[in-house]
Chains A and B, each alone.
Chain A
Amino acid sequence: MIYVLYLIVAVICVYTVRHYGFTLNRLFGFQRHPYIDIDTADWPRVTVLVAAHNEEKVIASILAALMEAKYPAERMLVVPVNDRSTDNTRQIIDEFVELYPGRIRPFHRTQGKAGKAAALKDAMELVDTEVILIFDADYIPGAGIIKQLTAPFFDPEVGGVMGRVVPVNVGTNLLTRLLDLERAGGYQVDQQARMNLRLVPQHGGTVAGVRRSALREIGGWNDNTLTEDTDLTYRLLLCGWKTVYQNRSECYEEVPETWQVRVKQIMRWAKGHNQAMATYALPLLVGKHRATLRERLDGALLLGVYIMGPITLLGWIVALAVFYQGVAQLHGVLALLSITAYAAIGNLAAFFEIAAAVRLDSHRKRLNLLPFLILGFTVSIFSVSHAAISQLIDLARGAELRWDKTERFRKAAS
C-alpha cells in the first residue's frame, strides 16, 4: 500500500512543480502577447455566436454590448443561438433584431439535442465567415474585444483563440470572492504561462474564437461531450492547429452565487474533462501528429486536472491506512520526509499561483482571503470526486451524459 501512496505523492508532486513553474514563468519569464498590438487591418468578416438557453435575465446586456463593439459593423454578424428557451429570451432577441436591422440574425432552436455544443452545431448553417467568435449569454464584452479575439486569426497556424474571463459579481458573497481568486489564478497565471511556454492554452468555449476551416477539418462541434471547449482544444491540437490565449482580451462574466450551483457547474466540467481525458490522452501522448513533446506532456497533464480530485482523496485514505497499518522503518522515514516536504511546499502551490495572479492584477487586500480557499478546494475535491464516481457508474449502466445549464443570478434588464 505504501507504494500506492508513493505513486500518488509522485503524481501530486508533478502537478506541484507545474504550478510553481507556471507561477515563476508568469512573474519573471518572457510574456508572449504577439497579436494584441494588431489594431489596424483589413478586418475579416466575423460571426459572433451567443449561446443562450433561458437567458432572459442577461441576453439584453450582451446584445447591447456587442452592438457597441468597435468593429466594422458591416463585417460583424451577431447570431444569438436561442436554444429551446421557454422564457422571454426569444422576444428580447427579436426586439434587438428590429432595433439593429441587418446586424443580428437570430437562430431560434425549438427542438433537438440538449446542450451548447448541439446548439452551436445546428447554428453553423447560418455561419459563412472564416472567423467565428463565441460568447455565453451572461458575458459582457468590452468595445475592443472583437478585434482582439479576431487578430490572432491573421496567423495561419491559429485555429482557436481564448480570452480572459473576469467575474463581475465578485463582492456578492464568500463563494463569488473565492471564484474570483480561482479565476485570476487560472487565467492570469495558468493560461498565460501556457501561452508563454508554447504549451496548450485551453479553449474555454466562451470569450473565444475558432477558425471555420479548422473546425471543419476536425469534424465540427462534438455534441456528445459535456465540455465542447476541452474537446475542441484537443481535436485542434491533434490536427496541427494552435489555440492561443489573449490575456488582455478580458470579458466580464457572472460566477455562481450559491454553492449548489457551483457544485453542479464543476461536476459538469469534471465529467466533460474526464471524458476528454479518456478520449484523447493516449492519442495525444503516443499518437502520430504534429504536437511537440512539450505540448503532449502539458496537454496530458491538463487532461488530468479533474482526476486529481479523486486521486488526492485516495491519497488521504491510503495515507491513513498506511499509518494504522504500520510501515517498515525505511518506508517510514521516506514517507515522513516526502509527506513533510509536500506539506511544506506542495499544498501551497495553487495558493502561490493565485497570490501571484492577484499581485499581477494589482489587487492587495483580497489576498487576505487566501486561507478561505481551503474551503473552496475541499468542496471542489469532493465534487469532482463525486462526478468521477457517478460518471463511472453511468458508464457501467450505459446512461447518457446529461447537460445542466448554469443558473443565472443577475436581475433581468428592465
Chain B
Amino acid sequence: MNPYLAVVALLFLTGALFLLPLLPAMLELRRKADALPLSLIQHHAGEIRYFADSFRAYLQPLGPTLQECGASGRNASGVMPDGTNYLVLGSGSEAVVLPLQQQDGICPVLIASATDLSLSKDSCFSKDIYSSGRFIGGDNNHYRALLAEKEAYLGKTSSVMRWVHAGGELSADSGCKLAARVSSDSRIRLAPGCSFQRLNAPRIEFGQQAAENPTQPLSPVPEIPLSMKPQRVVHDGDFEIRCGAAFCGDLVVRGKLRVGSGARVYGSVKSQKDMVLGSGARVEGSLVSGGKLFIGASCLIHGPVIAEREVHVQTGTQCGHPETPTTVSALRIEAEEGVLVFGSLWAREHGKVVARA
C-alpha cells in the first residue's frame, strides 16, 4: 500500500472518529430541537387551591346550563370542548344511577351538580365532580377530584386520587385515603384511620374532640436590652430544657433535644437529631428536627413544625393560631385524634390520623 495513502487514510479515519460524536451535537445545535429554557412555574406559588380554581375556570362554559338545570330541576348532558363527557344534574341524588349502571360501577363522566349532591356508596368516579352546594358521598367511594362550594362529606373508606376542595367544612369519615391535596375555606375534620398527604384550611381537626387550647398565646417576652438578649445558643451534643423551665432565644442543638413537660421556649428550637417535647410544652417560634419529632400531649407551638423524617403529635396539641396559621411538614406525620392545626400539613410520604393512645 502506498505509505502516503496510508497516512491520509489514517488521518481521515482519526478525524472521522473524532467527529462522529459531534455529529448529533451539530445536528442538535442546528435544529434546536431541545433549546427551550427549563419550564418554571412563574405565575403561581404552588397554592393548594390551584387545581380547584383551575377546575372552576374549566367549568365556566357550563355556567348557563348549571343555572338552567338548577332552576328546572332537570338534567343535561353533553361534551366539553376537550372531549370530556359531562352530566349536569338539576337535582342531586338519583341522576347518577344511569351512567353507573352502564359502566360496571365506574362513572366515566364529569358530574356537575346545580344543587346539593348526594352520591350512593361503592362507586368509582373516574372524572372530576363539582357541586354548587353541599356534597355527601357514600361509603367506599373512589373519586378522582372533587369540588364542593359548600360543605363536603366523604363516607367511610372513601378515597380521593388528585384533590378535593370544599368552600365549607370538609369532613372525612374513618378509613378515608386522601392521597392528594385536601383543602377547605373553613375547616377540615378527619376521623381516626384516615390517611392524608397535604391538608390546608384555616382549621384542621383530627377526630371529633379537637378543641382549641384554652390558654392564650404566650405573652411577649419583656423587653431586654439587645446586648443582654441571648440571640442564639448553639450546643454540641444532646441537650435538655428542664420541666417547667423557660428558655429565651433561639436554640440549636447538634444532637438530641428534649424539652421537658410544661417548659416554655420564647424563640425557635432546632435539633440535628431527634427531638421530644414533653406534654404541655409551649414554643413561641418554630420547631425543626433533623430526624424524628415527638410532640407530647397538649403542647402549643406557634411557628412551623419541620421534621426531616417523622412527626408524631399527641392529643390536645395545637399548632399555629387562628390569626397566625402555620405549617407542619415531614416525610411521615402521625396525628392523634384531638390534635388541632391552623394552616397546613404536608406529609410528603404518608400522613395518618390515629386513635388516642
- CA of A213 to CA of B21, assembled, Å: 52
Residues 170-190 of A at the B interface (beta carbon under 8 Å): 170-171, 174, 177, 180, 184
Say yes or no for A21: interface residue by CB 8 A criterion: no
Provide the residues of chain B in CB contact with A170, threshold 8 Å: 35-37
Contacts of A34 in B (CB 8 A): 288, 306, 308, 329
Which of chain B's residues 319-357 have a Cβ closer than 8 Å to chain A?
320, 324-327, 329, 343-344, 346, 348
Pick from A97-105, A149-157, A376-384, A390-398 the stretch touching chain B.
A149-157
Asked whether B42 lies within 8 Å of A369 as measured between CB atoms, the reply is: no
A369:B25 contact, CB within 8 angstroms: yes
Beyond A250-B38, A361-B38, whether A42 also contacts B324 by CB under 8 A is yes
Contact B44 A41 (CB under 8 A): no
Chain B's closest residue to A369 (CB) is B25
Q: A42-B302, A155-B288, A290-B234 are in contact. Are A368 and B24 (CB under 8 A)?
A: yes
Q: How far is the CB of A149 from chain B (nearest CB, A)?
A: 12
Contact A368 B306 (CB under 8 A): no
**Total residue contacts A-B, CB cutoff 8 A:** 145
Q: Are B40 and A41 in contact (CB under 8 A)?
A: no
Q: Which residues of B contact A38 (CB under 8 A)?
A: 304, 306, 327, 329
Closest chain A residue, CB of each to CB of B271: A157
A156 cross-chain contacts in B, Cβ below 8 A: 232, 250-252, 267-270, 285-286, 288
Query: A39 and B33: CB pair below 8 A?
Result: no
Q: How far is the CB of B213 from chain A (nearest CB, A)?
A: 17
Chain A, 50-70, CB within 8 A of any chain B CB: 65, 68, 70
B37 and A252 form a contact (CB under 8 A): yes
Contact with A along B295-310 (1 / 0, CB 8 A): 0000000111010100
Q: With an 8 A cutoff between CB atoms, is A240 at the interface?
A: yes
The answer to the question of B45 belonging to the interface, with a C-beta cut-off of 8 Å to chain A, is: yes
Size of the chain B interface, CB-CB below 8 angstroms: 55
Q: Which residue of A lies closest to B288 (CB)?
A: A155
Q: Which of B264-293 contact A (CB under 8 A)?
A: 267-270, 272, 285-286, 288
Q: Which of A84-92, A117-125, A136-144, A298-306 contacts B (4 or more CB under 8 A)?
A: A136-144
Q: Is the CB of B42 within 8 A of A142?
A: yes
Q: Which of B42, B288, B327, B346 contacts A157 (CB 8 A)?
A: B288
Q: Find A39's partner among B41, B306, B327 (CB 8 Å cutoff).
A: B327
Q: Smallest Cβ distance from A152 to chain B, in angstroms?
A: 10
CA distance A39 to B46 in the complex (A): 9
The answer to whether the Cβ of B82 comes within 8 Å of any Cβ in the partner chain is no
Q: Are B343 and A40 in contact (CB under 8 A)?
A: yes
Query: Is the C-beta of A116 less than 8 angstroms from some C-beta in chain B?
Result: no
The answer to the question of A363 belonging to the interface, with a C-beta cut-off of 8 Å to chain B, is yes
Q: Which of A231-252 contact B (CB under 8 A)?
A: 240, 250-252
Interface size class of A (residues with CB under 8 A): 35 or more
**With contacts A40-B200, A368-B24 known, is A250 near B45, CB below 8 A?**
no
Shortest C-beta distance, B331 to chain A (Å), equals: 9
Minimum CB distance partner of A371 in chain B: B21
Smallest CB–CB gap between A41 and chain B, Å?
5
CB atoms of B34 and A154 under 8 A apart: no
User: Given that A369-B28, A371-B25 are known contacts, is A154 also in contact with B306, CB under 8 Å in the complex?
Assistant: yes
Instruction: Give Cα A27–Cα B38 distance, bound, in whole angstroms.
Output: 19
Q: How far is the CB of B39 from chain A (nearest CB, A)?
A: 9
Q: Tell me which residues from 130 to 166 in chain A have a Cβ below 8 Å from any Cβ of chain B.
A: 140, 142-144, 147-148, 151, 154-157, 166
Query: Which of B47, B234, B324, B348 interacts with A240 by CB under 8 Å?
Result: B234
- CB of A37 within 8 A of CB of B303, answer no
Given the complex of chains A and B, what is the CA–CA distance between A42 and B22 in angstroms? 54
* Inter-subunit contact A366/B303 (CB<8 Å): no
Which residues of B have CB within 8 Å of A142?
40-43, 45
Instruction: Look across to chain A and name the residue whose beta carbon is closest to the beta carbon of B251.
Output: A156
Which residues of A are found within 8 Å of B251, using beta-carbon distances?
156
Docked complex: B16-35 residues within 8 A CB-CB of A: 21-22, 24-25, 27-29, 32-35
- Determine how close the nearest CB of chain B comes to the CB of A201; give it in whole angstroms: 15
Task: Give the shortest distance, in Å, between A62 (CB) and chain B (any CB).
Answer: 12
Residue B85 is within 8 A (CB to CB) of chain A in the complex:
no
Residues of B41-80 at the interface with A, using a CB-CB cut-off of 8 Å, are 41-48
Give the chain A neighbours of B44 by CB distance below 8 A: 70, 143-144
User: Does A370 make an interface contact (CB < 8 A)?
Assistant: yes
> Shortest beta-carbon distance, B314 to chain A, in Å?
22
* A309 on the B face (CB < 8 A): no
Q: Does B236 contact A (CB under 8 A)?
A: yes
Residue among B47, B251, B306 facing the most chain A CB atoms (10 A cut-off): B306
- Give the residues from 193 to 219 in chain A that come closer than 8 angstroms, CB to CB, to chain B: 213
Chain A residue numbers with a CB within 8 Å of B325 are 40-42
* Across-interface contacts of B250 in A (CB, < 8 A): 156
Q: Do residues A147 and B45 form an inter-chain contact, with CB atoms below 8 A?
A: yes
Separation in Å of the B255 CB from the closest CB of chain A? Answer: 12
Contact present for A41 and B22 (CB under 8 Å): no
* Complex Cα gap A145–B38 (Å): 16
Q: A42-B303, A174-B29, A364-B34 are in contact. Are A37 and B268 (CB under 8 A)?
A: no
Q: What is the CA–CA distance of A156 and B27 in the complex, to the nearest angstrom?
A: 51
Known: A42-B324, A143-B43. A32 touches B308 (CB 8 A): yes
Report Cα–Cα, A404/B40, bound state, in Å: 30
- Closest residue of chain A to B40, judged by CB? A250
Q: Taking A37-B346, A167-B37 as contacts, is the C-beta distance between A154 and B268 under 8 angstroms?
A: yes
Residues of B within 8 A of A166 (CB): 37-38, 40
Cβ of B209 < 8 Å from any Cβ of A?
no
Give Cα A41–Cα B308 distance, bound, in whole angstroms.
Answer: 18
CA–CA, A144 and B44, complex, Å? 6
Taking a contact as CB atoms under 8 Å apart, the answer to whether A177 and B35 are in contact is: yes
Residue B231 at the A interface, CB < 8 A?
yes
Q: Which of B24, B37, B41 has the most CB of A within 10 A?
A: B37
Residues of A within 8 A of B25 (CB): 368-372
| A370–B40 CA distance with the chains assembled, in angstroms | 23
A41-B304 contact given A142-B41, A156-B285, CB 8 Å threshold:
yes
Residues of A within 8 A of B286 (CB): 154-156
Q: Which of A40, A174, A366 contacts B34 (CB 8 A)?
A: A366
Which 4 A-B residue pairs are closest in the complex by CB-CB distance?
A: A144-B45, A171-B35, A365-B34, A156-B250
Other than A38-B329, A68-B43, A363-B38, give 9 A-B pairs with Cβ distance below 8 A.
Answer: A34-B288, A38-B306, A39-B47, A42-B326, A142-B40, A151-B304, A156-B267, A369-B28, A371-B21
Give B contacts to A, CB under 8 Å: 21-22, 24-25, 27-29, 32-38, 40-48, 200, 231-232, 234, 236, 250-252, 254, 267-270, 272, 285-286, 288, 302-304, 306, 308, 320, 324-327, 329, 343-344, 346, 348
A–B complex contacts, Cβ < 8 Å, 5 sampled? A70-B47, A156-B268, A157-B252, A366-B35, A368-B25
